Amino acid sequence: MIIELYLLLALCCFCNKKYSLSSIGILVGSSIGLLIYSLIITMDYSYFGGMICCLIFDLISFGIFGLCFGKWLYILICFGGVLLFSLFLVHNSKLIMSKYDKKYGPNDYVLGSLHLYLDFVNIVSYILSLLGICGSSTD
């Protein structure tokens, strides 16, 4: 987890400053919207965990398959990563606030906060990659 943070910091240092600030702004706006959505909605999202894990394996296989192709598949992978970890953000926040059977217990607050932290870090890294790859042709 610490290594992932250092990797993200290195990515932000080598990236353009406006892309770094834009990715943080996009993260704040989207995460506030997603967290409000998870507060308002009354549906049980506990069954989403298995489907999201299958989607992660699909994203990994597309990433390996994307090594042979160019920029457009990488852009689709970045969009998929942002969407996937946004679903993870809704799922994990719903597990923290849930009244249903599958939820974090009162002593699992560290695990819940680590899951949210990793969701935020992954969303920022995919947004930063997306802004960097799309903005490189215009600069």
Question: Please, what is the Cα angle at 121 between 35 and 114, to 5 degrees?
Answer: 70
CB contact at 8 A, 81 and 63 = no
- DSSP codes joined into one string, 77-119: HHHHHHHHHHHHHHHHHHHHH--SSS---TT-HHHHHHHHHHH
- What per-residue confidence (pLDDT) applies to 58? 87
Per-residue tens of pLDDT for the chain, all 139 residues: 567 667 777 777 777 777 777 888 888 898 889 888 888 887 776 677 788 888 888 888 888 887 777 778 888 888 999 999 998 888 888 888 876 666 777 777 788 888 888 888 889 888 888 887 766 654 4
CB contact at 8 A, 66 and 77 = yes
Burial of 65 (0-12, 13-18, 19+ CB in 10 A): exposed
Phi, psi of 43 (to 5 degrees): -75, 150
Annotated domain spans of the chain: 19-134
- What per-residue confidence (pLDDT) applies to 136? 61
Q: Write the DSSP symbol of residue 101.
A: S
- What per-residue confidence (pLDDT) applies to 100? 62
